[in-house]
Structure 1
Amino acid sequence: MNRKDFIKISSIFAASAFVPFSGVLASQVSLRVGLIGAHGMGWANLNAILKNTNVRCTALCDVDENVLQRRTAELAERGIDVQTFVSYQDMLEADLVDIVIIATPDHWHCLQLADAVKAGKHVYLEKPIGNSVEECDVMVKAVDNSASVVQIGQWQRSQQHFRDAIDFVHSGRLGKIRTVKAWSYVDWKKTIEQKPDTAVPEGVHYDLWLGPATKRPFNPNRFHFEFRWFWDYAGGLMTDWGVHMLDYALLGMKVSDPVSVMASGGKYADPNGASETPDTMRVVYAFEDFSIEWEHAIGIGLGPYGRNHGVAFIGNNGTLVLNRNGWEVIPEKGRMEAVALQKPKDNGLDMHMQNFVQAITKKDRTLVNAPIQVGAHIAVFCQMGNIAYRTGEKLYWDRTKRKFTDRKANNYLLAKYHNGYKLPKA
């Protein structure tokens, strides 16, 4: 999509970019929330939504009973009693929840979202929304055919300093922007050593964890947080962090689909490590008169401009650098004034949950700051980078057909379900 076409979807990329929170009234009806996937980010999401006074937790679901027991005990210490499930379908069928938080591995998102909205639940879905382009398309249709309010976990869209930075970019003061860089350098994450397959740990319902993914013996490298580094379940840093930073690259440039994409990288830090996704990668998305570049590295923390994550809009007059810690403008000599670091003044995740609850209580899903269309678009955009890497080719995107011009590359667009699971019908 070029700049002219961007205007046609402004309701998605501009109008929905930020809706300030006006407060949840105490008189509003109480909302019951259930969490699917309580190990990591799901727990943070649950605690954030519970800061809204009209929301209470009534159910937890996790295929690891060890996690369930730990989280249930933590809630009980706060006077919160919940019913627990290992099957998310059982939780949806029980008359216990109005809202579902889905924070499972990426390969489960499509099925769980489709089932949740079909059951009439509102959904907060962790990013990236799917593990394939085909899944993303199905998920958008599933939400469109429902009455559910759905918020995607791209919480920067609810944080004020991100909005302020994009307003500055749109002001034109940076001059012509030739290049946008986005990146994630994670020095806290070390490479994964090879480990042997083992027996399934006691309390883990492994078949329910695998779901539609290829059936494999249990290996601790592929479980819980580490699933991110294997193609069966996710897309590595390209999708895990790319959906955050590249989302703002596109928002700042008012564009959507690139003309072409090419990528390079590999397992440079540890060629013999267990992970499948590259620990080092660079992607170039070409547009009509500028490019967006993505880069990531595991085990290194000193990224561009001395920041371990961010997005930089490089203009003729200066460069605006933005990340979760704030934004600033570094001027070209004599062309504009510098802007000192503008630090965040709010909590992005809390604001995002408030925005979600506000949309539910007002029965208006157009109020959410990160609707399903936004989540789907950036997930597809990041998948393009991974597909270019996996094919080793420079790929050209046909935005009308939503396909590459390369037939081999299009095979990677499709969802591959196993173990009797089928892609939901749109």
Structure 2
Amino acid sequence: MKNSRRKFIQKTGSTAMGIGLFSIIPSKVWASGIAPSDQVNVALIGCNGHGFSILRHHLNLEGVNCTAICDVDENVLTRRIKEVQDNYGQNPKAYKDFRKLLDQKDIDAVIVGSPDHWHCLHVVSACEAGKDVYVEKPLANSIGECDIMVEAATYYQRIVQVGQQQRSGYTFSEPIRMIRSGEIGKLRKVNIWSNFNYGSGATPAEDSPVPEGVDYNFWLGPAPERPFNKNRFHGSWRHFWDYGGGLMSDWGVHLLDMGVWAMEKPAAPSLVLTQASNTSTDIRQRETFDSMSVLYPHDEFTIQWDMLGGIQQGPFEKPYGVAFIGEKGTIVADRRSFQLLPEWDGEKQAPKVTPQKFTEGSESHNLHVKNFIDCIRSRETPICPPETGRIAALYAHIPNISGRIHEPVLHWDDSKRQFKNSPKANALITPNYRDPWKLPKIPKG
């Protein structure tokens, strides 16, 4: 795992030249400051939404080239190919079937930007094909699929970065450093909230014919067969259990991961207390929840989660955020700022810590992508490997399962990968794939 791509290609250079490998490297790389042996060719699976934004961050790095793009919607695929041609001067191959893309030999890494229910198949197949992977969060749409993906990355010895980019951002990494250095004293509790209008679901729509150019059966993939409805498709699929987990698995994974990161010994939750419901009076088309309150008791400290879809206000005048509450002060953080609010020392008549405020942060996708590319070249572990993504996903999936089965208290045994107190919950750990798709199995040993 420590050998660089440069060394690997140097060792196999004569063979590679013999089969014409270097003839398919884009011509622009020869004028680049990055050696041809350290060029990284990436491909994108799922290019309608955020996946394409992540591709842009890749292409903004020197020595990174896009050689292929895949989507089941020809309309989206055609538009994205043109954008790469026009904006980056590259000409990636177009695919509607990800399996054919993975057969393309010059691809080093794959960006998985597909809906959550596809993550497991896309990631495992990419690892099996010898590609490194950047996969959007949550790691997968179920607990069982997360386990399989962790096994796949280990078995195939691939670099896998989960798109929990807050781990690369200063407005969260600095508070974590402050907590670990004892600047706010003992951490007693972490309050997390997420309030967004879109979390209440989409405006109802009738089922309709499949749009021209869309392979809807392929889009469904391992999920159950359903009639086409635009609210189950582009943009709002995450409000349906077959494909996503609502606001909880969208923002919850990001923010709850910060609570996990603050632990001295990060771990999956063992006890989860959940209230989950739909309380908005707006008529919406959804299966997931718009309102949740969740407690995660731990020996170190308790994490508390609150969520309201259809609401944009929140504590500290923030629609979302994390409050790390320590004995000496509280750090309130979001993606662009953090503030240290000191506790008052009555005896000394002074704050227990010096107040701080930082407001110049920005989204950290670019830093997260750079970490991934650096790790492809060095073969070092990225900042958010699948093991980390798996734990964060459990903090979202377990409360969702609790709400779905109407059992507010769930005990999770992470060593056995099952719930201790609920057969109904255990039945939702791993999905049943629709034929002909099969749940991946990773070889042992």
With normalisation by structure 2, the TM-score equals: 0.86
Amino acid paired to 2:190: V
Q: CA deviation at 1:289?
A: 5.6
Residue number in structure 2 paired with 1:66 = 75
Relative to structure 2, which stretch is displaced further, 197-206 or 368-377? 368-377
Matched, 1:56 2:65: yes
| Equivalent runs, 1:149-298 vs 2, <5 Å | 149-187=159-197, 191-254=201-264, 255-270=266-281, 272-288=283-299, 290-298=301-309
Matched, 1:42 2:51: yes
| Count of residue pairs brought into register by the alignment | 401
Matched, 1:300 2:315: no
Q: Distance in 2 between matches of 1:385 and 1:101?
A: 28
* Match 1:389 to one of 381, 388, 403: 403
Matched, 1:33 2:49: no
Amino acid paired to 2:110: V
Flag structure 2 segments of 5+ consecutive residues without an equivalent: 1-31, 346-350
Amino acid paired to 1:399: D
Q: Distance in 2 between matches of 1:425 and 1:344?
A: 45
Residue number in structure 2 paired with 1:9 = none
- Matched-pair identity in %: 40
Amino acid paired to 2:49: G
Q: CA deviation at 1:25?
A: 6.5
Q: Distance in 2 between matches of 1:257 and 1:74?
A: 41
Q: Distance in 2 between matches of 1:246 and 1:240?
A: 11
Q: Distance in 1 between matches of 2:34 and 2:338?
A: 35
Q: CA deviation at 1:402?
A: 2.4
SS of residue in 1 equivalent to 2:344: coil
Q: CA deviation at 1:186?
A: 1.1
SS of residue in 2 equivalent to 1:412: coil
What per-residue deviation string (whole Å, max 9, x for no partner) do you get for residues 9-62 of structure 1?
xxxxxxxxxxxxxxx972252221111111111111000011111111111100
Q: Distance in 2 between matches of 1:71 and 1:166?
A: 38
Divergent runs of 4+, >6 A: none
Amino acid paired to 1:372: P
SS of residue in 2 equivalent to 1:72: helix
Residue number in structure 2 paired with 1:108 = 118
Q: Distance in 2 between matches of 1:405 and 1:131?
A: 21
Residue number in structure 2 paired with 1:4 = none
Alpha-carbon contact 1:262-1:389 (below 8 Å) kept: no
Higher relative contact order (CA 8 A, sep 6+): 1
| Equivalent runs, 1:379-418 vs 2, <5 Å | 379-393=393-407, 394-406=409-421, 407-418=423-434
Q: Distance in 2 between matches of 1:118 and 1:66?
A: 29
Residue number in structure 2 paired with 1:99 = 109
SS of residue in 2 equivalent to 1:113: helix
Q: Distance in 2 between matches of 1:347 and 1:384?
A: 28
Q: CA deviation at 1:151?
A: 0.8
Q: CA deviation at 1:272?
A: 4.0
Aligned-CA RMSD value = 1.8
Q: CA deviation at 1:271?
A: 6.5
| Equivalent runs, 1:294-373 vs 2, <5 Å | 294-334=305-345, 335-345=351-361, 347-362=363-378, 364-366=379-381, 368-373=382-387
Flag structure 1 segments of 5+ consecutive residues without an equivalent: 1-23
Alpha-carbon contact 1:282-1:293 (below 8 Å) kept: yes
